[in-house]
Chain A
Amino acid sequence: GENVEQHPSTLSVQEGDSAVIKCTYSDSASNYFPWYKQELGKRPQLIIDIRSNVGEKKDQRIAVTLNKTAKHFSLHITETQPEDSAVYFCAARSSGSARQLTFGSGTQLTVLP
């Protein structure tokens, strides 16, 4: 089955700096890659997603890049703010018979004021 690895597990940045979180996946049939932000005690909230026919997608301060050949994708947050502090999860979903999301282990992002 699919295996998703996520790095780093913790990340601290100064307010205004950029943050990058990286994920790799194992199943070449995966074609959908969402990113979720989870604040303490709350549900994972979709912040951006990308499909395998696209190499990059941006939404204001957030961008995701996908390299299908290398089977890795990354989340980029620019001009970080304290409210960006949360746990971020990447996930991958296969186009094969197993349609579930497989999640990475999460990155605790702390933005220092």
Chain B
Amino acid sequence: DAGVTQSPTHLIKTRGQHVTLRCSPISGHKSVSWYQQVLGQGPQFIFQYYEKEERGRGNFPDRFSARQFPNYSSELNVNALLLGDSALYLCASSLSAGSGNTIYFGEGSWLTVV
């Protein structure tokens, strides 16, 4: 599970700005998911991608978007940042999109919106 890499690890943005977070899955994994974890809560699902296609979307506004590249890495974009977007953004990697696949999390990107 140490193979999921995310960048940047920490960042501070101003309200109204946009942010791009990046993720590289474990080698050989083709599915990437994004989760938002607000302080004191469990992670909340944002997106799942498999083979460059969106396979699932959580209850997040259209300001959130993502994509997956041919090398299976992924980007999460958030536009028009709000204070409430401050959170730990976690990327998760699994072999495929199958429901029984083990999911491994990266170290996360800590986003602070001021």
Contacts and interface: CB of A to CB of B under 8 A. Distances in A.
A100 B92 CA distance: 10
Point out which of A43, A96, A102, A104 has the most chain B C-beta atoms below 10 A from its C-beta. A43
B105 A45 contact: yes
Q: Interface size bucket, A side?
A: 20 to 34
B42 A51 contact: no
A31 B99 contact: yes
Contacts of B42: 89, 91, 103-106
A102 B45 contact: yes
Given A45-B1, A46-B1, A100-B33, A95 B99 contact: yes
Contacts of A100: 33, 45, 48, 56, 58
Contacts, number: 66
A94 B92 CA distance: 16
Contact of B100 (A32, A98, A102): A32
A99 B99 contact: yes
Q: B interface, by DSSP: helix, strand, loop or mixed? A: loop
A82 B36 CA distance: 28
A22 B44 CA distance: 20
Contacts of A42: 107
B103 interface: yes
Interface of A: 31-32, 34, 36, 42-46, 49, 51, 89, 91, 93-106
Given A32-B99, A93-B99, A93-B103, 12 more contacts: A31-B100, A43-B107, A44-B43, A44-B90, A45-B1, A45-B105, A95-B99, A99-B48, A100-B48, A101-B45, A103-B43, A106-B41
